[in-house]
Structure 1
């Protein structure tokens, strides 16, 4: 579970008031520029959060997984969606209409506080992430982003040494968007990581043998 997952009691509240929805890989859950109509509690699968810039480049702002809310900010302030959420694989969750979401926050102070804390943790994580990554070259930035994504959202690999290995359902283009670099630059880094046997790249997936080792690479390479 990542730091920004909602506590169990409030996830249960959302489940009781919402309805189950599922999406296939590539389907859009919420779209940038649209009027906010619902929040979604993710239950299974990963979602990438992207935003389009004026020059046409699409940036991957974050990846979200089980236990996390998406779409809550625009439902609170009533502004149009600031980003698009797209299923990276099969995704299921609970959709809760925006008016019902607001009603629950007004009726349950504890729930409103949990949502506020949830948003605060995500903003703090985002600020720290930008600070850490801002001054790093593409090589180190790619390794650190891959380490964090695999630690937070990767699936454990049975039989791996010390149980450290994680399999991450992300393709090279999505990783490049998260790193903020060209696909070609990220592919070169992945090739080097593969040669050093730190990762294994396959179609739509990256197996990371030891995410912790990537947080200090290439200093210890």
Structure 2
């Protein structure tokens, strides 16, 4: 199982890159553009989104501190299949595609760590699809909300001792859970009644992560 890059791996990636910063809403990578760089995130959170021909935007994933993004495109020399947008101010290191590929050729342990990272993401995506595919829309919303808040939420003790504040819109949550915004609204309403979540503008606060983990919707 991949447990993250070691300090030595992170040092190699930083040394190969150039420091950069993006404000909230800044685009790190844009769908359809050449895949000319990878980025190591040092601080902040980004969302990876894909826009279909009819204009529908799907939330594919969130990434945070010490995650590497854009490596797929660097390795197979294609255009971007998705855009990467800063959800909070982001600092990181930009690694040009030729330097990134050379770094992997020069350093076997780092290349293996990157490969394990890619495999871990693919396995997680497969597991998530399998789990969500057998769940109702309401359960999918709760499961995705819990996972995203644990991975990318920030502590919000002013709401509750173990609360997690997640910068995510209801439409983005619907996209991540593979359901409609109406289903998200209904689910959040029930979770609010159970005092498990609160909603804020452009954000959702999970008040009781443990309670949300064990929550079962009415009628199930």
| TM-score of the pair, normalised by structure 1 | 0.91
Of 179-188 and 98-107, more deviation after overlay is shown by 179-188
Aligned to 1:166: 164
Aligned to 1:113: 112
**Contact between 1:148 and 1:211, CA under 8 Å: does it hold in 2?**
no
Aligned to 2:17: 18
Structure 1: gaps spanning 5 or more residues: none
**Contact between 1:5 and 1:66, CA under 8 Å: does it hold in 2?**
no
User: How many residues are matched?
Assistant: 218
Aligned to 2:141: 142
Q: Does the residue aligned with 1:215 lie in a helix, a strand or coil?
A: helix
1:194 aligns with 2:188: no
Structure 1 residue 160: Cα displacement = 7.6
Q: 1:144 to 1:127 in 2, by over 3 A?
A: same
Q: Does the residue aligned with 2:214 lie in a helix, a strand or coil?
A: coil
| TM-score of the pair, normalised by structure 2 | 0.91
Counterpart CA distance in 2 for 1:206 and 1:76 is: 36
1:195-210 alignment runs, 5 A limit: 195-210=193-208
Structure 1 residue 83: Cα displacement = 1.0
Deviations 1:37-68 (A, max 9, x none): 11001111111111122333211111111110
**After TM superposition, which residue ranges in structure 1, 4 or more long, deviate above 4 angstroms?**
none
Deviations 1:96-144 (A, max 9, x none): 1111101110100011001000101111111111111112121111000
Counterpart CA distance in 2 for 1:128 and 1:210 is: 25
1:39-188 alignment runs, 5 A limit: 39-158=38-157, 164-188=162-186
CA-based RMSD of the aligned residues comes to 2.0
